[in-house]
Each structure stands twice: as C-alpha cells, then as structure tokens.
C-alpha cells in the first residue's frame, strides 16, 4: 500500500521538481517509510514507500536502470517463475519492482500478463519516449489519471492530481446520478470528478506525445475448462493453488499478520490455511484476528463460529463490539480521507476495525473477500436443470438442498419456478416494464436532473440479478462484474490513512481461473454449495464452520443505527447550502426512512444513505 504519482507533459513542457514534490507529498500518509521523486525534462515520477514485503526493505523508488525508470505499488507473487525466465536471482535484496522492470525490458507490452500479484506501476522508456502503465488483473491496487493533448497525470489517489495546473476539479453530475440510481457498480472508469478516470483493471496503457494506446491484457476465458478423474484430484489441486495464494500474501517484513475473521466459510478458510502454512513451514509469524461482535443483535453475531476457529488455532483474537457503531461513526474523519461517495453501510465499522488494527501495530491484513463470487454458490443450479429438461436430477437436487439447508422442498421449488419466470419476463424488457411494480427510488430522483443529463430511464440494480440461467455463465458474470474494482478502491482508501494493506487470496488469478473452470458438480454436490472449498478444507477448518450453510447479517445493526440518525436527516432535508436539492426530492427522505423501518427494503436504505453521503461529501470538498 505504497503510492505512486507522475506527470508526462506530452508537448515537451519541463516538469517542475517542486510541483512533483507537492504532488507526491499529497500522498505522504501512505509513505511513512520513505518519499522520493525523479524528474527529467518533461517527465516526473514519484513514490511514497510503505514496507509491506521483506524485499521492500531494500527498495528505493523511483528506480532507474539504463533507459528505464519505474515507480510501482506492487507485490509480485510469481517471483520464482520470473527469476528463471528473466535470469534474476530470487533473493530478498531484489525488489518486486525490479522484476516488473526486467519483465517490461524482455516482453514489452506483454509484460503485465506475465505477472501475478497486485500491482499498479508506470515505466518511462527514455529510448522509445513511452510512458507504460498497468494495473493488476482485478484492480486491487488503485490508479487514477487525467489525460489531454498536453499532459498525462496519474496517482494512487485523486487528490495528488489536483496539484497540477490544468487538471479540472469539478463534480461529475452523471456519476452522481448513476450512484443515486443504485446501479453505479457498472461504472469502472468514471469517477465523481469530471475527466478524472480510474484505470481499468487488467489493462495497460502506452502513452506517447502523439498517441495513447489502452488495451486489455487479461480476461477470464469463458470457455476455460478443467477435467480430472476424481473428486480427490480436484480437491488436491484446489488445496495446492489456494494454499499458494495465501502463502504469497503472508510475505511481510513484520512478525505479525492480521486476518479479518467473520466466522464465515471464506475468512475462516483463509485464517486456518494461513495458520497451517506458518506451522508447516516454521515461519516466524503470528496471526491476529479481528472480528465484529454484537450483544444486542444476536442475528448479526458470529462469536460461536469465531470461537471454533480460535480454539482450533493459536491465533490472537481481537473483538470490536459493534452494536452502537453507525455508518456515520467518525464521519468527519472518514471524509478527510475518503475522496468519493461510497455505497457501503459498513464504513463506520471498517474505520473502527482499522483503528484497532493500527493500535496493534499491524499493516498487513488478509480477508475472505471474494469467496462468494469466486468459489460460487451456484444459486441457479436447479433452474439450469429444469430448463434443460433434466427433471429427475432437478428433483434430486431440490431434495438434497432442502435437506442441507433444513427447509421444506416445496417452497424451494416454488421460488425456483418464480426465478425462471422472472428471468424470461425480464428478457422481454417491454413486458417487464409493464408488469414490474414501481420502484420507490424512481420517484425520489428529480426528473429535471435526469433530463438535463439525457438519462431517460432509472435503472434498478436488482433487474440485473439474473444475467442467465446457465451456471457457468452466471459464475462468469459474478467474477467479471465491475463491482470488484470499485470495492477494492473503497477498501484501499479506507486502509490508507492507517498504513494497512489488505490482501485477498480468493482474488488470486490462479484461484479464479481454477474455480471457474472446474465442472458444476464440483461447485455443488449432495446439496452443498461451494463444494470444492468445503471438501478441501476437511481437517483444516472446524467441522461446524466447514459445514455451515447460513450466514449472519452484520448489516442489521448498521441499518438500524443509520435509521436513528435523525439529526443528519434533518440537516440534509434543510440543505442550507443548496448542495443536493437539485438531485433528489429531499422532503421524501423521511418517507424512505419510515418505509424502511416497516419493510426493511434495502434498496431504499441504500438510496437514503447515498443521498446523505453525497451531501456530506459535496459539503466537504466544496466543488
């Protein structure tokens, strides 16, 4: 979780070193272990260093070798493989950025696809006069930029870009509209600032004085398949890949490693696998877990399952009592570092967790983020069997799933049929528009605002729930959907001020490709969804965690605490500075709160939360 900055004046204007210093200093909170810049003629690169790997202790960026200069925020996981191909010694004194530089020197524009890990980097090629930049496969490392005919400016955070004269500082109203429509997960490039863009995950760019080339270097192959002879072979291969993904993310210069332990299948799998790796390899590491607990919301509390993991391992537990933590908890502090409005209710909880993590002196924390999407619940398995006339298998699957979930098979069958009907109705969009109930959110966004932007239809994110009824197609959509990149940017921004780097083993490219490519029968079997993970974690996870099929909803407390925030609701409704009244019918927010209290309709709560956070953000940034 270091930071990078850069300026490339495309028409030859010389970069002022003092400007580069100011730009770099804007991200000083990320670089407690060093800050450097490099400037030559019309190009400048900057770096703020946070030591997050043993190799980074020996690293100084920007780094120059021959005609190449690099700045990078990166953790490269396939160092051993690259060392053989590049003729580099795989030793602690050789940095990850050096591997990237040599990969570019050998493979040019093809180099990003040769790398595994989380990375955002920029290389100035003096000889070719090209600025080459790339972002990792899923967008874990942030990268924002502004480009016009005169210049290309980039940084890990947007605030650095505004130090450069000519970079516009203006709100993007279309992005605000998309956020209020609760469908903004489909936005990958557009930010809340006009003409400031987020660099797409799995893309590279090659920038010269006269041209710019943006290209996708990786996309999950929809036809990817893996076939093995037995369940045991699938299990052993998954265990090998997943263990390696966790092991790569244990690289740290410190003895202590943090894990976010919710008690669910994903975070528990990461925690117990990490503990096993440490024990099997005699690593001098200790794991500290961090968990939210609730006294007043038993439906949100996971202490029973968390304790199962703690009792099985030697991890050192830390608990955050979260009953009273509102999404607006420490909101003024959050607004000081959060550059854009966010959709998650969990921002207050995450801020408190980061505070505790920092106090414990931990700057690396592993998460189970992405387990649901990558390993897949295969929620439309019965639907696929039914539409393909495999009725006997469908009947058997309904019985097995009902038994595992301890529900009656008749409601399960009825829900399945409803989903099939809904899917086909939604395909006939005109009929769907006629039949669907009016969504209250459509009545809350001002029509004049949408008309001004040329938006003719308010999109409801739930209308995208079923992209297809084919299991593999659905799994593909879950992995490739754009929300991952947005989530990573929010997570990184939340962690930055606390000098914490989050790492996500389930988003390892090898884990993603393997879980997608295996047969559906290895994703769901005998009524158990996420079968490959469950069977692979036998003897690693506590049985009560490995076999659980339910999950607590930690959002219930956040929603209740949010709905109690009457003071901020009153402030927004009055809107004394006329900040947001052009966007939404503020007088109807009270109806949203009242409706939510009765019905617990999450889309309305999300809408009200977004209106309030956008209001607070606009008030703070004063655009």
- pLDDT, one tens digit per residue, over 511-520 is 999 999 999 9
SS3 state at 237: helix
pLDDT at 434 over 80: no
| pLDDT attached to residue 595 | 56
| pLDDT attached to residue 461 | 47
What average pLDDT does the segment 393-416 reach?
Answer: 91
Stronger pLDDT, 315 or 602, i.e. the higher one? 315
**What whole-number percentage of the chain has pLDDT above 70?**
92
**What whole-number percentage of the chain has pLDDT above 90?**
71
CA distance 473 to 516: 10
What average pLDDT does the segment 274-302 reach?
Answer: 95
| pLDDT attached to residue 185 | 57
| pLDDT attached to residue 464 | 43
Stronger pLDDT, 283 or 560, i.e. the higher one? 283
CA distance 395 to 401: 10
pLDDT at 72 over 80: yes
Dihedral in degrees, nearest 10, Cα atoms 432, 435, 437, 439: 20
Of the pLDDT bands very low, low, confident and very high (cuts 50, 70, 90), residue 9 is: very high
pLDDT at 419 over 90: no
pLDDT at 68 over 70: yes
Handedness of CA 367, 370, 375, 378 (dihedral sign): positive
Of the pLDDT bands very low, low, confident and very high (cuts 50, 70, 90), residue 342 is: confident
| pLDDT attached to residue 427 | 62
pLDDT at 108 over 70: yes
What average pLDDT does the segment 368-395 reach?
Answer: 92
| pLDDT attached to residue 569 | 82
pLDDT at 221 over 60: yes
Q: Output the average pLDDT for the chain.
A: 90
How distant, in Å, are the alpha carbons of 293, 316, 330, 400, 524 from that of 326?
Answer: 14, 27, 9, 40, 37
| Lowest mean pLDDT segment, chosen from 121-130, 339-348, 361-370, 528-537 | 339-348
pLDDT at 267 over 50: yes
Residue indicated by tokens 């003629």: 41
| pLDDT attached to residue 435 | 44
| pLDDT attached to residue 597 | 52
What average pLDDT does the segment 43-54 reach?
Answer: 97
pLDDT at 601 over 50: no
CATH number assigned to the domain with residue range 3-216, chosen from the 4 options 2.40.50.140, 2.30.30.40, 1.10.240.10, 3.60.20.10 = 3.60.20.10
Question: Hey, what are 250's tokens?
Answer: 């244990």
Per-residue DSSP letters for 58-86? G--SSEEETTEEEEEEEEES-HHHHHHHH
Question: Hey, what are 64's tokens?
Answer: 């120059």
What average pLDDT does the segment 124-148 reach?
Answer: 97
| pLDDT attached to residue 551 | 87
CA distance 505 to 496: 20
Record the pTM. 0.94
pLDDT at 439 over 60: no
Q: Which fold has domain 231-375+480-550?
A: Rossmann fold (3.40.50)
* Bridge partners of residue 525, in order along the sequence: 528
Helical packing angle, 602-621 and 566-574, nearest 10°: 60
- For the chain, the structural domain boundaries read 3-216, 231-375+480-550
Of the pLDDT bands very low, low, confident and very high (cuts 50, 70, 90), residue 485 is: confident
pLDDT at 431 over 50: no
* Bridge partners of residue 287, in order along the sequence: 257
For the range 26-31, what are the long-range contacts, defined as Cβ-Cβ under 8 Å and sequence gap of 24 or more? Answer: 26/155, 26/157, 26/159, 26/160, 26/163, 27/3, 27/155, 27/156, 27/157, 27/159, 27/160, 29/337, 29/496, 29/497, 29/499, 30/1, 30/2, 30/3, 30/156, 30/157, 30/496, 30/499, 31/2, 31/3
Of the pLDDT bands very low, low, confident and very high (cuts 50, 70, 90), residue 459 is: low
Question: Hey, what are 130's tokens?
Answer: 């090209």
| Lowest mean pLDDT segment, chosen from 121-135, 245-259, 480-494 | 480-494
What average pLDDT does the segment 478-495 reach?
Answer: 85
Residue indicated by tokens 């993991």: 309
Handedness of CA 456, 461, 463, 469 (dihedral sign): positive
| pLDDT attached to residue 438 | 47
SS3 state at 43: strand
pLDDT at 295 over 90: yes
- The answer, yes or no, to whether the previous bond of 62 is cis (omega within 30 of 0) is yes
- As a whole number of Å, the end-to-end CA separation of the chain is 28
């Amino acid at each position: 979780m270091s930071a990078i900055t850069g300026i490339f004046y495309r028409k030859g204007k010389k970069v002022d070193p003092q400007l580069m210093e100011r730009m770099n200093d804007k991200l000083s909170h990320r670089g407690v272990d060093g800050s450097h810049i490099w400037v030559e003629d019309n190009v400048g690169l900057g770096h703020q260093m946070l030591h997050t790997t043993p190799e980074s202790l020996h690293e100084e960026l920007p780094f120059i070798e021959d005609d190449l200069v690099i700045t990078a925020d990166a953790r490269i996981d396939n160092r051993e493989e690259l060392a053989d191909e590049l003729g580099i010694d795989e030793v602690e004194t050789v940095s990850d950025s050096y591997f990237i530089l040599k990969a570019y020197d050998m493979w040019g524009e093809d180099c990003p696809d040769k790398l595994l890990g989380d990375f955002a980097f920029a290389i100035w090629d003096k000889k070719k006069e090209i600025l080459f930049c790339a972002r990792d496969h899923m967008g874990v490392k942030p990268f924002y930029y502004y480009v016009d005919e005169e210049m290309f400016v980039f940084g890990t955070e947007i605030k650095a870009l505004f130090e450069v004269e000519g970079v516009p500082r203006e709100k993007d109203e279309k992005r605000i509209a998309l956020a209020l429509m609760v469908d903004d997960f489909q936005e990958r490039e557009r930010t809340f600032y006009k003409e400031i863009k987020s660099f797409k995950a799995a893309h590279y760019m090659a920038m010269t004085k006269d041209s710019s080339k943006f290209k996708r270097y990786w996309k999950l192959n929809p036809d990817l398949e893996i076939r093995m002879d037995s369940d045991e072979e699938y299990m052993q291969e998954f265990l090998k890949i997943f263990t390696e993904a966790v092991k790569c993310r244990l690289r740290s210069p410190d003895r202590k490693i943090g894990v976010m332990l919710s008690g669910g299948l994903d975070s528990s799998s990461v925690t117990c696998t990490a503990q096993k790796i440490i024990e099997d390899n005699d690593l001098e590491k200790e794991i500290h877990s961090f968990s939210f607990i609730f006294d007043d919301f038993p439906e949100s509390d996971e202490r029973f399952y968390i304790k199962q993991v703690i009792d099985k391992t030697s991890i050192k537990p830390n608990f955050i009592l979260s009953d009273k933590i509102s999404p607006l908890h420490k909101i003024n502090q959050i607004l000081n570092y959060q550059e854009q409005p966010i959709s998650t209710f969990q921002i207050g909880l995450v801020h408190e967790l980061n505070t505790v993590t920092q106090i414990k002196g931990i700057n690396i924390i592993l998460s189970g983020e992405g387990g649901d999407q990558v390993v897949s619940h295969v929620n439309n398995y019965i639907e696929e069997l039914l539409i393909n006339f495999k009725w006997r298998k469908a009947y058997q699957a309904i019985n097995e799933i009902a038994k595992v979930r301890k529900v009656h098979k008749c409601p399960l069958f009825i829900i399945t049929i409803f989903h099939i009907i809904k899917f086909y109705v939604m395909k006939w969009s005109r009929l769907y528009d006629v039949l669907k109930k009016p969504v209250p959110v459509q009545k809350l966004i001002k029509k004049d605002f949408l008309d001004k932007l040329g938006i003719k239809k308010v999109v409801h994110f739930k209308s995208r729930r079923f992209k297809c009824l084919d299991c593999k197609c659905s799994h593909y959509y879950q992995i490739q959907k754009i929300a991952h990149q947005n989530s990573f940017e929010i997570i990184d921004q939340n962690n930055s001020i606390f000098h914490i780097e989050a790492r996500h083993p389930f988003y390892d490219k090898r884990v993603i490709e393997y879980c997608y490519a295996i047969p559906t029968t290895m994703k769901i079997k005998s009524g158990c969804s996420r079968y490959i993970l469950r069977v692979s974690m036998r003897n690693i996870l506590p049985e009560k965690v490995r076999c659980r099929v339910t999950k607590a909803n930690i959002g219930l407390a956040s929603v209740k605490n949010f709905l109690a925030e009457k003071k901020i609701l009153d402030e927004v409704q009055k809107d004394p500075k006329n900040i947001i009244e052009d966007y939404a019918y503020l007088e109807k927010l009270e109806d949203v709160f009242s409706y939510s209290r009765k019905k617990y309709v999450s889309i309305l709560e999300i809408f009200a939360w977004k209106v309030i956070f956008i209001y607070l953000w606009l008030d703070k940034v004063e655009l």
